[in-house]
Amino acid sequence: DAGVIQSPRHEVTEMGQEVTLRCKPISGHNSLFWYRQTMMRGLELLIYFNNNVPIDDSGMPEDRFSAKMPNASFSTLKIQPSEPRDSAVYFCASSPQGNYGYTFGSGTRLTVV
Amino acid sequence: GENVEQHPSTLSVQEGDSAVIKCTYSDSASNYFPWYKQELGKRPQLIIDIRSNVGEKKDQRIAVTLNKTAKHFSLHITETQPEDSAVYFCAASNSGTYKYIFGTGTRLKVLA
C-alpha cells in the first residue's frame, strides 16, 4: 500500500490566489481528516469525513476554506483567496472505520507570499 | 470544549536515561489515546496507543499508562537513544466521533 498520498508537497503562491490541496486516502479507510500544523497552534483539525460525508467542519477557520470528498479515494482542500497567515503544513490522514490510529500523508507545505 | 494538555514542551535527557511525557484530557467520553512521533520535516507516525479498558501497554522500550479516573496518560521511553529525538504528540479520541484532539507536542532531545 502506498499510504496516504498528498499533492503537491510544496506550494508557493501569491496572496489572493486560489490554492487546492489534494489527498488520496488508503484504500478501504472510511474516515479522512484534514489537519493544519503551525508552530504557534500545533496540529489543528480542520474537517473530517466519514464515508465521504463531512461530519465536523467546525475547525475550518473561515469561509475562504472549503473541502470536498467526491468519492472514497479523493479529497480536496481549497483556500480562496489565500492569505499569508494560511502558510502552514497541511496534513491529510485516513483511518479505518472505528477508533483506530490515523495514517498521515507526507503533508503539503504551503507558503503564501 | 475538548482539550488535551501536554507537558513538558521540551525535554532533554542523556542517552540511556528514561523520558516521560504526560497528557491530561478533558472529555470524559474519550476512550482511545494514541501517541505520535514526528521527526523534523516528516509526517507524524503512530508509535503506540492505548484504549480505555487497559491501564498500561508496552512495546519494547516504549510504554503508555492511563489513569481514567484522573484523566491523564503518559508515555515512557526507556534506554533512550539519539534516534528517539523528535516531537511527540499525544491525542485523545472517543468512538462517537473518531476525531483526535492533539496535545501541543513535546520536543525530546536525547544527548549523546
Residue A13: phi and psi, rounded to 5, are -140, 160
- The three three-digit cell numbers of residue B42, written as one number: 516528516
Closest CA to A93 of A38, A42, A46, A41: A46
CA A101 to chain B, closest CA, distance in angstroms equals: 7
CA gyration radius, chain A: 13
- pLDDT tens digits, residue range A72-98? 999 999 999 999 999 999 999 999 876
Output the pLDDT for position B63. 97
Q: Measured between CB atoms, does A102 come within 8 Å of chain B?
A: yes
Is A48 in Cβ contact with B98 (below 8 Å)? yes
Residue of B99, B101, B106 to mutate when probing chain A, most A C-beta within 10 A: B99
Q: What is the pLDDT of residue A1?
A: 63
Those residues whose C-beta lies under 8 Å from the C-beta of residue A21, and which sit 6 or more positions away, are A6, A7, A8, A11, A76, A77, A78, A90, A92, A108, A110
Contact assignment for A95 to B32 by CB distance below 8 Å: no
**Contact criterion met (CB < 8 Å) for B43 and A55:** no
B20-62 pLDDT, tens digit per residue, is 999 999 999 899 999 999 999 999 999 999 998 889 999 999 9
- Yes or no: say if B35 and B75 are a contact pair by the CB < 8 Å rule: yes
B47 Cβ under 8 Å from any chain A Cβ:
no
Query: Radius of gyration over alpha carbons of chain B, in Å?
Result: 13
Q: How far is CA A102 from CA A16, A29, A82, B77, in A?
A: 32, 10, 28, 21
For residue B5, the distance in angstroms to the closest alpha carbon of chain A comes to 12
H-state helical runs in B1-112:
none
Q: Euclidean distance between the first and final Cα of chain A, in Å?
A: 36
Query: Sorting pLDDT into bands at 50, 70 and 90, what band is B1?
Result: low
Residue B52: how many other CB atoms lie within 10 Å: 16
